[in-house]
Structure 1
Amino acid sequence: MRTQEDLKLAAAILWLNIHSDRALDKVVSSIGVYRIWQNSPDDELQKTLLGSSKKSSLKVLILLLEHLQDLRLTPHSGELLFRLNSMSDPQFSSYVRTHNFKQVVRDSITLPPAVLEGLGKDAANRYHSEIKSSRPDAEPGIPDSLVKPVIQIHPAPFTSQGFGVTAPNATTHSIFFGTDRNRLSNHVKAQFGDERNEVGITYGVAEVSVPHVHKEGSIERPAKRFRVFKTAENPNLHIVIHKVTARALQDWIESAKMTDSDGLLFIHGFNVTFDEALWRTSQLCHDLKFSGRKFCYSWASCGRVLSYPTDEATIDWSAAHLREFLRTITSNLDLRRLHIIAHSMGNRALLAVLENWQKVEGKTPISQIVLAAPDVDTGRFKQIAEVFGHYDQVTLYASRDDRAIKVSRAVKSLPRAGDANPPIVMTGLSTVDVTAVAGELFGLGHSYIAATSPVFRDLYYIIQEGLVPEKRAGVRKCDEGYYILS
């Protein structure tokens, strides 16, 4: 990964670039610095820059390298680091033409007098003159109001992974994930898109913080201004992903081992991105006060409402990968037991796995299973439900007011298991009708599992205490055999 010295050198070159129009040719263009930052191998950024600079400006780069220890990054350099790490090539190409970019660069680093003097008296005078002059306007056609800071990174020590994020009013969770999404190769840190990874599963760990001002069941994220641009992330106010690291399988197993403790796995549903899956997993584990090992399986959902047919095909394709991920967890991590929460379309992959799941003696057993708003054909669901008796408890949350399930039912012309119209009643299954308390999230009426306190508190009794419905507060049994949450 990039080092502190790498960031110093990149920031210094960018600083010279924004002041060098009248002094000397640029060492390496600003977009060139970005591309080298993104694409050069680890520990070879300096060598790549040397090979990319013009002969006329090579002496300037050598001067910077000689004074590398004297260059001083400021606490504000975190924003420049984040932009180098996260922006796409077209975004950065536009960004370097703005006044905001110049200000971020100016605020990120201080060059010592020895560097300016080494450039020669004439050049040094011009740099100082430029620094003292009034701030230039943004390039025509790109007003500052259209360039929003992507994130505010608070001052913290630099590590080989970049600047840490100081979040004194937040709790950070390690989420051990598996995903069959495509890896986005143009990012320095591991990030994943909405296409399938034909190679299979990528294992990794994400560090996600939840602010102390967090409200139960909510995912605090920056609001959008003018309905387009998001305000900056603030770890003291928002759920924030600080670091995503892909790991080799054996390394992941060694890191995830946790003897005499439970594990909790969340499998997301339709219309969910990789980041959204991590936010929700962290929120659920945080609000459940779950102290064991936290897992997320993120299948390659497109994260778009109109991509429902594509997600339908992908969830079936992902079932084999989920089976492999579950087998890795239950066979290698020495957990006491594993609980699973699946939401929406994610239930299809889980049920396909459970239908033929064989418990292995001495391995981690699957205990509590929660099927939240399952977008699954009712007839197919009943076929698979014959195996539910193999687990400590299987809970189905359903609602008559789940609009996404209604749409699915209309399209299929067949009832869905997540639709409480009527609720499914079967041996080995605890069906809870949450119609009376179900709220809406994302305007889809499809995420009440994490949006309303009564549902969430009932979930707490299931995961943390393993209570059956008759022993949980707010749950009553009706004559038809299902339960009602109120």
Structure 2
Amino acid sequence: MGRGIDSEDTAPRPRMKSARPPAAAGEPPAASAPEPVGSGAPPPEPAPPPPSTDAASAKGEWDVVPVFYGTDRAQKPNEKRLDYGSDRGRRLELGRALVTVPRIHKVPSIERPWAIRVFNVTLYEEAEDPNRHFTMDEIKSLSEDEFLALVRTRLADSARYKDHAFIFVHGYNTSFDYAVYRTAQISYDLKFDGAAFAYSWPSGGGLASYTYDRESSGQAEPYLKQFMQLVINKTGAKSVSVIAHSMGNQPTLQVLRDLRRAKPDGVQISQIILAAPDVDRDNFENIANEIQGLASGVTLYAAGNDRALTVSRNFYGGVPRAGDVPATGPLVLPGIDTIDVSASSMDSLGLNHSGYAENNALLQDIAALIATGTRPPKLRTPALEEVTTDRGAYWRYPAALP
């Protein structure tokens, strides 16, 4: 199915939520979240995908996943629903989206309507169907008090990931809707019953928007900082993990450096997960040194075949980025676990950047990392190979994965 990655997702069409029949016999059931293999400490017991706290959580052949969001995008006109475009709003806006996930969902896909697009012009797109697609069941802008009340209710009902939260910051070429869908997909596939947060900075949402995206991600820094401080200081979450992908690492690392100087008592920043960071290598190393001690662990997932990093490398005259894997190998730094996922895939977090080898290996490792924090990586994911260099060890997925 086309996933709408080359332009912003179109607004959901009106639909009869019970008019469609259940999935036909023989169709695959909804895939369960991958469980870590060989962890040093076992993860929580498997549980059904976490329901929403709303009565809407079990309709038809789909489930509903709540995503709490922050954005500095400007709203754009849409008669059918609240919507955000690529323009800069120059303020933080909070809200909650209820995302439908079809029970025929396959990990780690985001099932969206098939479409034909030419130069960002949609020539044809099939109608949305929550029995088969991720859709926006509801989206609301909220005041800070409303936002916090809903988050606290979600955390109070959490069990498998008690009082846990994660914040996902997307990368280049990402629409608001796709950022929310990706956060819902991660939450659903991890069976995450804590609070899932998405921060969506004003990406242009197009392959040709690299320069705009780079500047736009930078100007989002103060709003992302405000959002992270809100999640860490006011929601009541006892453990917060941060997942940043590609260009989203630019503002995220700057904010983490600021937070290191004023880490609140009583809150554990559990895991910092930096996936294919589109960041200058030297700058990355400087900031990495400054955020030492902020979290229980920092993991760098690097990829030598990430298409967004290829664009960035060419843009900067062929100089590798922090998340790249050149012929000399990935970046290896003290206090950071570097994992080369070139033989795996970034599709669990990004926009099909390495879709030739899509599988669940990366998602499996993230599930184990958030659930257990087990280190070094090979203890939670035995398939990883350890590579020793003069700067220390890193890990990589073997060329042939099952």
When normalised by structure 2's length, the TM-score is: 0.77
Partner of residue 303, structure 1: 205
The 3 A distance-change label for structure 1 pair 178 and 470 is: same
Are positions 1:347 and 2:249 aligned together?
yes
- Which of the residues 277, 282, 291 maps onto 1:379? 282
CA positional deviation for 1:245: 0.3
Distance 1:353 1:442 in 2: 20
1:459 aligns with 2:366: yes
Letter in 1 for 2:105: H
Write the mapping of 1:126-205 to structure 2, written as runs, cut at 5 A. 150-155=13-18, 167-187=59-79, 189-198=81-90, 200-205=91-96
2:353 matched to which residue of 1?
446
Q: Is the 8 A contact 2:275 2:302 kept in 1?
A: yes
Query: Take 1:462 and 1:449, find their aligned partners in 2: how far apart are those partners?
Result: 25
Residue 111 of structure 2 contacts residue 133 of structure 2 at CA under 8 Å; is this kept in 1?
yes
Structure 2 residue aligned with 1:415: 320
Query: What is the letter of the counterpart of residue 320 of structure 2?
Result: P
Aligned to 1:216: 107
Task: Supply the AA of the counterpart residue of 2:332.
Answer: V
Checking the alignment, whether the CA contact within 8 Å between 2:344 and 2:358 is kept in structure 1 is no
* Structure 1 residue 407 displacement after superposition: 2.3
The question of whether the paired residues in 2 share the 8 Å contact of 1:218 and 1:450 is answered with no
Deviation larger for 220-229 or 404-413: 220-229
- 1:368–1:463 Cα contact (<8 Å) kept: yes
Deviates more, 1:304-313 or 1:256-265: 256-265
Q: Paired residue for 2:387?
A: 478
Partner of 1:365: 268
The offset of 1:236, in angstroms, is 1.1
Match of residue 49 from structure 2: none
Aligned: 1:425 with 2:317: no
Q: Deviation digits for residues 116-156 of structure 1, max 9, x if unmatched?
A: xxxxxxxxxxxxxxxxxxxxxxxxxxxxxxxxx94533249
> Which structure is higher in RCO with an 8 Å CA cutoff and minimum separation 6?
2
More off after superposition, 300-309 vs 412-421: 412-421
2:304 and 2:342 in contact (8 A); partners too: yes
Shift of 1:211: 1.0
What's 1:100 paired with? none
Which structure has more strand as a fraction of its residues?
Answer: 2
Which residue identity is paired with 1:483?
A: W
Q: Compute the displacement of 1:360 (Å).
A: 3.7
For the residue of structure 2 that corresponds to 1:214, the secondary structure is: coil
* 1:65-76 mapped onto 2 (5 Å cutoff): none
Number of corresponding residues: 332
Shift of 1:470: 2.8
Amino acid at match of 1:214: H
The match for 2:34 is none
Which has more helix, going by share of residues?
Answer: 1
Residues 278 and 322, structure 2, Cα contact 8 Å, conserved in 1: yes
Q: Secondary structure at the match of 2:323?
A: coil
Distance 1:150 1:253, change over 3 A: closer
Whether the 8 Å contact between 2:173 and 2:206 is mirrored in structure 1 is yes
Identity in percent: 34
Of 216, 232, 240 in structure 2, the residue corresponding to residue 330 of structure 1 is 232
Distance, in Å, in 1 between the alignment partners of 2:182 and 2:219 is 23
* Cα contact 2:221–2:251 (8 A) shared by 1: yes
**CA root-mean-square deviation:** 2.6
Per-residue deviation, residues 297-326 of structure 1 (Å, max 9, x unmatched): 011111011111011111110011100000
Aligned equivalents of 1:345, 1:249: Cα separation in 2: 27
**Alpha-carbon displacement from aligned partner over 1:323-347 (angstroms, at most 9, x marks no partner):** 0000011111111110111111001
- Hey, what's the Cα distance between the residues in 2 that align with 1:391 and 1:321? 21
Answering whether residue 258 of structure 2 is matched by residue 392 of structure 1, we say no
Equivalent position amino acid for 2:182 in 1: R
Amino acid at match of 1:264: F
* Structure 2 residues not aligned, in runs of 5+: 1-9, 20-55, 157-161
Partner of 2:166: 264
Alpha-carbon offset, residue 354 of structure 1: 1.0
Q: TM-score, normalised by structure 1?
A: 0.64
Look up the equivalent residue of 1:382 and give its one-letter code.
Answer: E
